[in-house]
Amino acid sequence: MKDGNPHDGSQFLGIDPAGKTPDEIELEWLEHHYRGDMPQLTFRAVLIGSVLGGVMSLSNLYVGLKTGWGLGVAITACILSYSIGASLKRLGILRSNLSLLENNCMQSTASSAGYSTGGAMVSAIAALLMIQGTHLPFWTLLPWTFFLAMLGVVLAIPMKRQMINIEQLKFPSGIAAAETLRSLYAAGEDAKKKARSLSVAGVLGASASFARDNTFAWWPGFLRIPGTLPFPGGIAGHGMIEWTFAWEMGLIMIAAGAIIGIRVAWSLLLGGLINYGCLAPLMFKSGVIKSLGYSGIMSWSLWAGTSLMVSSGLVGFALQWRTIGRSFSGFSSLFRRRSDSGVPSGVTRPEEIEVPTSWFLVGLGVAGAGVVAIQMLSFSIEWWMGILSVLLTFFLALVACRATGETDVTPIGAMGKVTQLFYGVVAPSNIRTNLMTACVTSGAAASAADLLTDLKSGYLLGANPRKQFIAQFLGIFAGTLSIVPAFYLLVPTPDSLGGERFPAPGAQVWKGVAELLANGLESLHPTARWALVAGALLGASLPILERRLPSRYRSLLPSPMGLGLAFVIPFWNTLSMFVGALLAWIIHRRARDIASKYTIPVASGLIAGESLMGVLLALASTLGIMG
């Protein structure tokens, strides 16, 4: 592995895509990085991953109902699996610890089980429960969760080759997970130093999370730290915290900022200042925004941010039509036999290890049919509306995956709002249709984005993507069987949601949008409609300008994904990410060698430590251990 610019995943890997064709990039990876001879998809890797993922799906359900956010489980899973493997080896249960790529394959199973099955629960499903006052039947919710997760897994297939192989998008958590695994398995003095820096950072991240989030009765109150520190002063007679201007007492967003790079980070900061410092006070003074705080402001700002991200993602995708054609060139292989002429004997080709297009088509057909059938039978949604929701999911999952690849933040709530808006026009008075079609977009797009992060980790480590896909698919079963019964146990009645224990902020937003659109698009405030148009125009313009401008001026353009995301996440998130990127940029400018060696390990350790402690605290709370 070559040490390079810490802000660039391709340099981390050792591949520079500049001036190379897609075929040359893929062949270089196969020649120098692919580890086809190392054990990967083994029974023990899938078993440990299924157990871990099942447990983590419970913690994500709890955290999601508490905060509206989900915890990525990839880094947590790889650290835990390595520790479990080493412990089982010492006990004599395993003959050897998991190999590097077995651990990565286990991580794929755990990621699928722990994350891809829970997004719908804390959003549309919880919102529907609050609206209709009764739970969905178990035998409706179980297959619904499974088919949504399956749809997300198969949607990642065509996007992986374009976004990871060719475009070399960063997927910061994927880089962090890969660096974590490398450090755990590394040998040599330099590797030990990186591993040591990762460990120290991990302890620091875990300590910060524990001091902030624990509610143990025996822990002294004066040793706890608040979740945020509000800025002094105010805007329009209201405290800064009400406009989300505060310092977040966590390290995970700072670490993510150190990986995503300065351009996306300053774009986030710019968008946050425009949204929360200018537009939100103006809209509040005009009476458009009725209440302050993150949820109140986002109820208006999400329309501009969402349309900006959607239009920029689709236009940017369309401008790469050659890559699009190549990504889907495998469709023709279903109808003609591939020619092996000119390929030397014994040489691995990309088609031999990438997931076949036929798997994508079959998986899409089965998952899509399952989703549409349940929509028709259980929610009385017209068949053509169901099919349209699956097709729309592909395009919005594309945007969500690109946002995750560039910023490490998946704007899945915003993506679901696009579908809600669309069906607010198509079926203006049907709340169930509005929620459950958007649930398809939300669940599948979140799953695809998270699993692409996992595939990025495998790509950096030289894993077989086809085996990773199988591991991800197997993880769906463990996650579904864990999270569906847990949802009924944690939320026995509709009254369990919206209170002190489970505020369910994500579901509250879904519920509010569905009720708002029940009377059609005309019920949306005119300023929100103008924000939709303005965001779409800006989002479409930025990728075109980036193509047209000379290369020396392109870095001066804001990242459309960063700009749009700032409208759907609180300002304290954008500020933390900017600070992390700025620190990494300064260190890289002043001490390039140190930055190249330690930026990613330290950032990875902070992400790993805080996410691991977050999962442990959520489990402790779920089990009633906390006071």
Residues 354-407: tens digit of each pLDDT? 888 889 899 999 999 999 999 999 988 989 989 988 988 887 787 778 778 877
pLDDT at 311: 79
Q: Are 451 and 472 in contact (CB under 8 A)?
A: yes
Sorted by sequence, the CB contacts under 8 Å of residue 30 that are 6+ apart come out as 348, 349, 350
Structure tokens at 126: 């919880």
Domain ranges of the chain: 9-332+379-622
Structural element, H or E, at residue 234:
strand 234-235
CB pairs under 8 A, 24+ apart, for 212-217?
212/249, 212/250, 213/613, 213/614, 213/617, 214/617, 214/626, 215/621, 215/626, 215/627, 216/620, 216/625, 216/626, 216/627, 217/626, 217/627
Q: Please write the tens of the pLDDT for every residue from 399-453.
A: 778 778 877 767 666 667 677 777 877 877 788 888 888 888 877 887 888 888 8
Nearest to 448 by CA among 539, 536, 363, 328: 363
Structure tokens at 6: 């810490």
Q: Are 443 and 149 in contact (CB under 8 A)?
A: yes
Bridge partners (DSSP) of residue 235 are: 238
Q: Please write the tens of the pLDDT for every residue from 283-330.
A: 998 888 888 887 788 778 878 887 887 778 767 766 766 544 544 444
Amino acid at 540: A
Q: Please write the tens of the pLDDT for every residue from 208-239.
A: 888 887 777 667 777 778 878 888 888 888 88
Structure tokens at 213: 């989030």
Calculate what percentage of the chain has a pLDDT beyond 70.
Answer: 81
Q: Coil, strand, or helix at residue 228?
A: strand
Rounded distance between C-alpha atoms, residue 561 and residue 267, angstroms: 8
Tell if the pTM clears 0.85, that is, is over it.
no
Rounded distance between C-alpha atoms, residue 567 and residue 582, angstroms: 21
Nearest to 1 by CA among 123, 131, 245, 179: 179
Rounded distance between C-alpha atoms, residue 81 and residue 102, angstroms: 10
Burial class (CB in 10 A: 0-12, 13-18, 19+), 332: exposed
Most confident of 82-86, 187-191, 346-350, 455-459: 455-459
Question: In angstroms, how far is CA 552 from the centroid of its own chain?
Answer: 31
Q: Are 539 and 309 in contact (CB under 8 A)?
A: yes
Q: Quick one: residue 325, left, alpha or beta (phi over 0 = left, psi -120 to 50 = alpha)?
A: alpha
